[in-house]
Amino acid sequence: MKGGNTKNMDKAFVKVKCPDCGNEQIIFLRASTVVKCQVCGATIATPTGGKADIRGEIVEVYS
C-alpha cells in the first residue's frame, strides 16, 4: 500500500546531511551504534536507546 503518510517513524530510515561536509547518507533512525559520515568521519547520529540523536539535517524520511 502506498500513500499513507504515517507518523509512525519506528522503522524509518532517514537521509541525513553531514553537518561538516554536506555528504548525504541514509541511516536507520533507531540506530543502535554511532553512525559516522562515510566521507569525513564526523558523527552524524548517536544512539539513545530509542530514536537516534541526529546531528545533521534530515533531508528525507523513508518509512
| Interacting residue ranges for Zn ion, rule: CB under 5 A | 18, 20-21, 23, 37, 39-40, 42
Instruction: Kindly tell me which of 21 and 61 has the beta carbon lying closer to Zn ion.
Output: 21
DSSP 19: T
- Residues 60 and 35: their CA atoms lie apart, in Å, by 17
Instruction: Kindly tell me which of 37 and 54 has the beta carbon lying closer to Zn ion.
Output: 37
Instruction: Kindly tell me which of 38 and 48 has the beta carbon lying closer to Zn ion.
Output: 38
Report the DSSP beta bridge partners of residue 17.
24, 57
From the CB of 13, what's the least distance to Zn ion, in Å? 18
29 touches 51 (CB < 8 A): yes
What cell was used for 23? 555528504
From the CB of 4, what's the least distance to Zn ion, in Å? 33
